Structure 1
Amino acid sequence: MGNLRDATNEAGFLNGQFLLAMPGMEDSRFARSVIYICAHSENGAMGLIINRAQEMEFAEILVQLGVLDEQQVIMMPDRTRDFLVRNGGPVEVRRGFVLHSDDYLTDSTMPVAEELCLTGTVDILRAISGGRGPRKALMTLGYSGWASGQLENEIANNGWLTCQAPHDLLFDPNIDSTYDRLLAYMGIDPSRLATVAGHA
């Protein structure tokens, strides 16, 4: 896991927003993806894909990091043992991030939006496994990143749709339907989404 001090804390206009991949998304790694933007500034952007499951399970991660042994994992409540780990993106795929409610704070916790924070240290995994974690949380391995101006260009070229990030959809573990439910939340018929950008 590692600290997040390299990520910007400067609020950009996309901080706390969802990105939805448009039907014409050329990069298959992001097809039908929903990304929560944690940091956005003139230097670039960083976000987490929230609707793709990671093959590695939470219990495996706890054992691999030495947080718990296999016997302790067996004794965890089902709700904790089955905590969904998501595939946050193609960058640093072995690095973990926990996006969570602001009722859990450590020195390495970064605020990312109102009532939401990001922590990337093992301490939060210990807290979650011991029932002392934040009220709401999601974990990813890896993240999605953009260089300066890259994300803005992709949005201008009709690669992404942006919208508010309702917390009930953000933390919902039923991720297979997240993309379609978010379109419905926005009142958008998927069949009417244009696959190419229009230019005046």
Structure 2
Amino acid sequence: GLEEPLGRCLQQQGLISPVDLVKLFRHQLQVGLYCLFALEAGQFSFLPNVPLPYQEMTGLSKEASAVVLEGLQQLKQDQRREENLPQPDSYFWRTSLELPLYQLSPLEWSILEQVSPSRKLADLARALGADLLEVRYACARLAKLGLIAPCEGPIAMPQPSLVGTSKASGANNLGETREPVKPSLVSRLSMLLRSIREK
């Protein structure tokens, strides 16, 4: 059997460039090691006399202390990025019913269709059968595009009334009708409120 790292053999035969080999090594560290630093609890064990997996090895190496430092730095960056995302218990509302002019992912479309100021993000993710972290990233992007906006929630949304129907409450019998709020008005109002808040 092969008793030399496959990556080194492929590089010697000119089948992989040194740059691509380094990228592969970084990917192995990322997937196989750095993600372990994010675990809060777990069990592991060392198995003695396990044959080395030469076919999975690049032939590159790095000192353990350097790997640990990189893993911790990466964890810190990931946590900082996650802190800037909307929280699982936050609420959003759709700022406009008009179709967006931006290219959206299937998840972003689903969020746009089902987001509600009466439903927190954790519940929305559950309803969509989607990963909560992915939903938080998608909501952050939709908010940046101005398609949704955070609200204090939960807010019970009134049922929209049909144009030309009289008020259900008998308080006013003048045949008054309710006009639905136009999406463009809501959109302009949210932009105005956002600009005031930024000042």
Normalising by the smaller structure, the TM-score range is under 0.3
Q: Where is the helix percentage greater, Structure 1 or Structure 2?
A: 2
Higher RCO, 1 or 2 (CA under 8 Å, sep at least 6)?
Answer: 1
TM-score scaled by structure 2?
0.27
